[in-house]
């Protein structure tokens, strides 16, 4: 599966890279006349606790979007309207200065940090071709740490397939909540997310970038971009489980990093914060990347270990 999975995680990084864009609302959508015709998207769980009347709905998102993703199906829409609070990994419409500071600290190259210029000549040529393809200025790429550039390239590949971070599901949810004057809670922080990459050595960062370049050049990334987005669009349980298994089986360096650090490493903390939210709030909604909700060691599994009742709705 390799670093294609990272788009589930890095879409908000790209908003941080351009704070002005983070504040843009997703494009307006029309509501179909027959609400029952609206299909399910992603994955939805109902979380409850014995002895408590509190209920929390846990929704799986994708950090890119398209106009036909919206509106969301009636059960989820009703839960969102009723919610006392919406919890997201981070609020993409939150403090743009905080995002910019995290980007400067963790995503931009500083003296002594690895840079794309350190790639072997053959990869430099491949990278130059991709920068032209995606209209990324060379000076912009040169200023990024390699892991961040790999993330930007991944999102650019999704954009080439018709998906856009400006219409990311997280951004759509945040916009709806802010318009209703609902509280929006951050389960993590963009600084904490980006800091996960700070432990990569210079060689590991360059390997991460090289694997991303190879995946784009052999069209693997384009194929898997379509698979990921289609599985989310169709709320396809079997396809989402298959994607989780591919991620777990991926033995590339970037694949192991994504699985061990970005998924397995974060799931217990996400589950803990969601359980705390359930304990103090009724009728809340939490929405996180859909790959945190499927596979071995998922957030729903961690919630069950805490004694919570977890029902998968779709």
Q: How far apart are CA 220 and CA 193, in angstroms?
A: 26
Instruction: Note the pLDDT of residue 13.
Output: 52
**Exposed / middle / buried, residue 163 (Cβ in 10 Å: 0-12, 13-18, 19+):** buried
Name the residue with tokens 């409850």: 48
Q: Which residues of 34-68 are buried (b: 16+ CB within 10 A; e: fewer)?
A: eeeebebbbbbbebebeeeebbbbbbbbbbbbbee
Q: Is the pLDDT of residue 6 over 70?
A: no
Q: Grade residue 10 by pLDDT with cuts at 50, 70 and 90.
A: very low
Q: Grade residue 137 by pLDDT with cuts at 50, 70 and 90.
A: very high
Q: Grade residue 50 by pLDDT with cuts at 50, 70 and 90.
A: confident
Q: Grade residue 139 by pLDDT with cuts at 50, 70 and 90.
A: very high
For residue 10, which of 94, 103, 85 has the smallest C-alpha distance?
A: 103
Instruction: Note the pLDDT of residue 185.
Output: 97
Domain chopping of the chain, boundaries: 2-26+36-312
Q: How far apart are CA 199 and CA 112, in angstroms?
A: 14
Instruction: Note the pLDDT of residue 270.
Output: 97
Instruction: Note the pLDDT of residue 207.
Output: 96
Task: Supply the mean pLDDT for the chain.
Answer: 88
Highest mean pLDDT among 24-33, 118-127, 216-225, 249-258: 118-127
How many residues are listed for the chain in this entry? 314
Q: Grade residue 9 by pLDDT with cuts at 50, 70 and 90.
A: very low
Instruction: Note the pLDDT of residue 296.
Output: 94
**Exposed / middle / buried, residue 209 (Cβ in 10 Å: 0-12, 13-18, 19+):** buried
Weakest mean pLDDT among 125-129, 192-196, 224-228, 294-298 = 224-228
Q: Is the peptide bond before 71 cis (omega within 30 degrees of 0)?
A: yes
The tens digit of pLDDT for each residue in 216-240 reads 988 876 777 788 889 999 999 999 9
Instruction: Note the pLDDT of residue 127.
Output: 98
Between 174 and 225, residue with greater pLDDT: 174
Instruction: Note the pLDDT of residue 84.
Output: 94
Q: Grade residue 1 by pLDDT with cuts at 50, 70 and 90.
A: very low
Half-sphere exposure of 269 (CA within 13 A, CB side): 13
Contact in structure between 99 and 22 (CB atoms under 8 Å): yes
Q: What percent of the chain has pLDDT over 70?
A: 88
In this prediction, residues 68-92 reach a mean pLDDT of: 95
Instruction: Note the pLDDT of residue 29.
Output: 47
Q: Grade residue 155 by pLDDT with cuts at 50, 70 and 90.
A: confident
Q: Is the pLDDT of residue 57 over 60?
A: yes
Q: Is the pLDDT of residue 19 over 80?
A: no
Instruction: Note the pLDDT of residue 5.
Output: 47
| 141 Cβ contact list (under 8 Å, min separation 6) | 116, 127, 131, 149, 152
In this prediction, residues 273-283 reach a mean pLDDT of: 96
Instruction: Note the pLDDT of residue 35.
Output: 55
Contact in structure between 11 and 155 (CB atoms under 8 Å): yes
Between vectors from CA 189 to CA 286 and to CA 176, what angle results, nearest 5°? 45
Contact in structure between 175 and 25 (CB atoms under 8 Å): yes
Instruction: Note the pLDDT of residue 141.
Output: 96
Instruction: Note the pLDDT of residue 156.
Output: 87
The tens digit of pLDDT for each residue in 201-217 reads 999 999 999 999 998 98
In this prediction, residues 239-251 reach a mean pLDDT of: 91
């Amino acid at each position: 599966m390799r670093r294609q999975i990272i788009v589930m995680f890095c879409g908000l990084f790209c908003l941080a890279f351009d704070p002005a864009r983070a504040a843009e609302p997703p494009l307006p959508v029309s509501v179909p006349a027959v609400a029952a015709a609206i299909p399910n998207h992603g994955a939805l769980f109902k979380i409850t606790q014995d002895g408590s009347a509190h209920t929390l709905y846990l929704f799986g998102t994708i950090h890119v979007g398209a106009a036909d993703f919206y509106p969301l199906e009636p059960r989820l829409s009703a839960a969102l309207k009723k919610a006392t609070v919406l919890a997201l990994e981070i609020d993409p419409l939150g403090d743009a200065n905080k995002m910019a500071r995290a980007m400067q600290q963790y995503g931009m190259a500083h003296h002594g940090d690895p840079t794309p210029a350190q790639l072997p000549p053959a990869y430099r040529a491949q990278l130059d071709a991709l920068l032209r393809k995606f209209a990324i200025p060379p000076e912009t790429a040169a200023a990024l740490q390699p892991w961040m550039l790999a993330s930007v390239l991944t999102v650019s590949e999704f954009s080439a397939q018709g998906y856009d971070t400006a219409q990311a599901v997280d951004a759509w949810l945040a916009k709806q909540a802010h318009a209703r004057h609902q509280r929006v809670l951050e389960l993590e922080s963009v600084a904490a997310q980006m800091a996960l990459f700070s432990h990569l050595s210079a060689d590991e960062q360059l390997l991460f970038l090289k694997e991303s370049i190879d995946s784009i050049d052999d069209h693997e990334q384009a194929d898997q971009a379509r698979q990921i987005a289609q599985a989310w669009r169709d709320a396809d349980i079997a396809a989402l489980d298959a994607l989780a298994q591919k991620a777990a089986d991926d033995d590339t360096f970037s694949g192991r990093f994504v699985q061990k650090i970005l998924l397995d490493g974060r799931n217990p903390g996400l589950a803990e914060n969601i359980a705390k939210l359930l304990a103090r709030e009724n009728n809340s909604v939490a929405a996180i990347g859909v790959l945190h909700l499927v596979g071995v060691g998922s957030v729903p599994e961690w919630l069950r270990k805490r004694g919570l009742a977890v029902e998968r709705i779709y």
